[in-house]
């Protein structure tokens, strides 16, 4: 790319916003030129606004420290200086839908990490390795919004990334029933152990809204485009329990699967390790070379050892074995704030650039 696209980050001071800032440091296609947050942060430099809240393990990139934080609500002002925005603001769903639509209507594409638009029929919700063809509904959405280049695209919830790609790799064996328990990191709630000390040596068996997302969102990912809208798939039926565990980064899932056409273990592993999608074909900058790795050791994948596989963009799977009630069971692991949040959104944006939906303004 000759000239980098100018990027704004809405919610730049938050946990996901900081992850965007870190991932986009030295990005070959994108340059962060605008950081926006609540009126509380507006007018301060990014460094001042974040203050002691920097939650990344790597230092704050020099290039953003002195950017003056804009107010997310000053839409025209923010939109005028950027080619597209990433959205990671924490507001009510109604407010998020309204603000993301308003940015789209300024002809600024919005790639969102938020859940507000995940079920809007003409908003694509995409894992680029699985359903990049869903971006087609952008044309219908632009008609609805009355825009030429402005639209909203979203990525799905962090919890599904440890098993939805795996089940996709096994599609030809027709999974019919899935039982998943997720063990979710505290960064998924925007927290560290410093600001959530109750989580040290603790487990909380409830994450608001998470089970419904974990059961329903994969069906939308496997859905098809009909008349400019996404129609969700009928199956497999998925039931989940989502548990918060004392882990900083990394969502683990323990999963049982029943198939219509039961394969051998060797066939399942072969499908996993050879599973590729459009990002690998196009060699997009953030695409993992190996999307899913299979680990033979009985004690893998482990959060501490494996969460950063492929810079946090790959999925690690292990403990695949036959089950006495279901056909097979396995354990999956993915990085919730990289593949599950900001990294997944960056890969969506790269795919949108490659497909010609995001261009220089």
**Which of residues 72 and 347 has its CB atom nearest to ligand NAP in the complex?**
72
Known active-site residue 27: no
**311 Rama class: left (phi>0) / alpha (psi -120 to 50) / beta:** left
Pairing of strands 70-71, 152-154: unpaired
154 counts as binding ligand NAP under rule CB under 6 A? no
Which of residues 8, 165, 190, 236 is near ligand NAP by CB under 6 A?
190
327 φ, ψ (degrees, to nearest 5): -80, -50
Shortest separation between residue 171's beta carbon and ligand NAP, angstroms: 25
CB atoms within 10 A of CB 283: 9
158 counts as binding ligand NAP under rule CB under 6 A? yes
337 counts as binding ligand NAP under rule CB under 6 A? yes
Sign of CA dihedral 279, 285, 289, 295: negative
Q: Point out the catalytic residue in the list 117, 134, 242, 251.
A: 251
Shortest separation between residue 140's beta carbon and ligand NAP, angstroms: 25
Which of residues 72, 180, 268, 317 is near ligand NAP by CB under 6 A?
72
Cα dist from 294 to 252, 275, 314, 329, 348, whole Å: 14, 11, 11, 14, 24
Binding flags for ligand NAP, 215-244, as an x/- string (CB under 6 A): ------------------------------
Pair of tokens at residue 299: 């004690």
Could you say which residues in the range 245-284 bind ligand NAP, by CB under 6 A?
none
Shortest separation between residue 356's beta carbon and ligand NAP, angstroms: 27
Could you say which residues in the range 30-69 bind ligand NAP, by CB under 6 A?
37-38, 40-41
Q: Are 108 and 84 in contact (CB under 8 A)?
A: yes
User: What residues contact 147, with CB distance under 8 A and at least 6 apart?
Assistant: 104, 105, 107
Q: Point out the catalytic residue in the list 158, 242, 335, 348.
A: 158
User: What residues contact 182, with CB distance under 8 A and at least 6 apart?
Assistant: 159, 162, 210, 214, 240, 241, 242, 243, 251, 252, 253
**Which of residues 48 and 281 has its CB atom nearest to ligand NAP in the complex?**
48
332 counts as binding ligand NAP under rule CB under 6 A? no
Pair of tokens at residue 350: 């790269």
Could you say which residues in the range 99-138 bind ligand NAP, by CB under 6 A?
113-114
Q: Are 176 and 259 in contact (CB under 8 A)?
A: yes
Known active-site residue 117: no
Which positions are annotated as active-site residues?
A: 158, 251
Give residues in contact with ligand NAP (CB under 6 A): 11-17, 37-38, 40-41, 72, 88-91, 113-114, 158, 187-188, 190, 336-337, 340-341
């Amino acid at each position: 790319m000759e000239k980098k696209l100018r990027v704004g980050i809405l919610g730049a001071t938050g946990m996901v916003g900081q992850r965007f800032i870190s991932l986009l440091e030295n990005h070959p296609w994108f340059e962060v030129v605008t950081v926006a947050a609540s009126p509380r942060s507006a007018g301060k430099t990014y460094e001042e606004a974040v203050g002691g809240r920097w939650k990344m393990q790597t230092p704050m990139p020099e290039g953003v420290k002195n950017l003056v934080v804009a107010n997310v609500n000053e839409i025209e002002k923010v939109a005028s200086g950027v080619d597209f925005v990433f959205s990671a603001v924490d507001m009510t769903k109604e407010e998020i839908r309204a603000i993301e639509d308003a940015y789209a209507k300024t002809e600024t594409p919005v790639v969102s990490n938020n859940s507000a638009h995940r079920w809007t029929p003409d908003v694509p919700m995409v894992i680029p390795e699985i359903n990049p063809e869903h971006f087609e509904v952008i044309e219908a959405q632009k008609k609805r919004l009355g825009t030429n280049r402005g639209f909203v695209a979203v990525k799905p919830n962090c919890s599904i990334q440890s098993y939805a790609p795996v089940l996709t790799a096994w599609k030809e064996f027709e999974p019919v029933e899935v039982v998943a328990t997720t063990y979710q990191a505290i960064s998924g709630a925007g927290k560290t152990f410093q600001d959530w000390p109750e989580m040290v040596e603790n487990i909380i068996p409830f994450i608001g809204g998470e089970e419904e997302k974990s059961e329903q969102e994969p069906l939308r990912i496997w859905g098809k485009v009909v008349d400019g809208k996404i129609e969700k798939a009928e199956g497999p039926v998925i039931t989940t329990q989502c548990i918060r565990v004392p882990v900083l980064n990394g969502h683990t899932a323990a999963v049982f699967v029943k198939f219509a056409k039961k394969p051998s273990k060797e066939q399942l592993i072969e499908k996993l390790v050879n599973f590729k999608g459009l990002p690998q074909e196009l060699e997009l900058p953030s695409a993992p070379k190996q999307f899913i790795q299979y680990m033979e050791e009985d004690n893998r994948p482990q959060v501490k050892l494996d969460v950063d596989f492929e810079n946090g963009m790959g999925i690690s799977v292990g403990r695949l074995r036959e089950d006495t009630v279901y056909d097979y069971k396995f354990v999956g692991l993915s990085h919730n704030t990289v593949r599950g949040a900001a990294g997944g959104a960056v890969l969506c944006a790269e795919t949108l650039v490659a497909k010609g939906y995001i261009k220089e303004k």
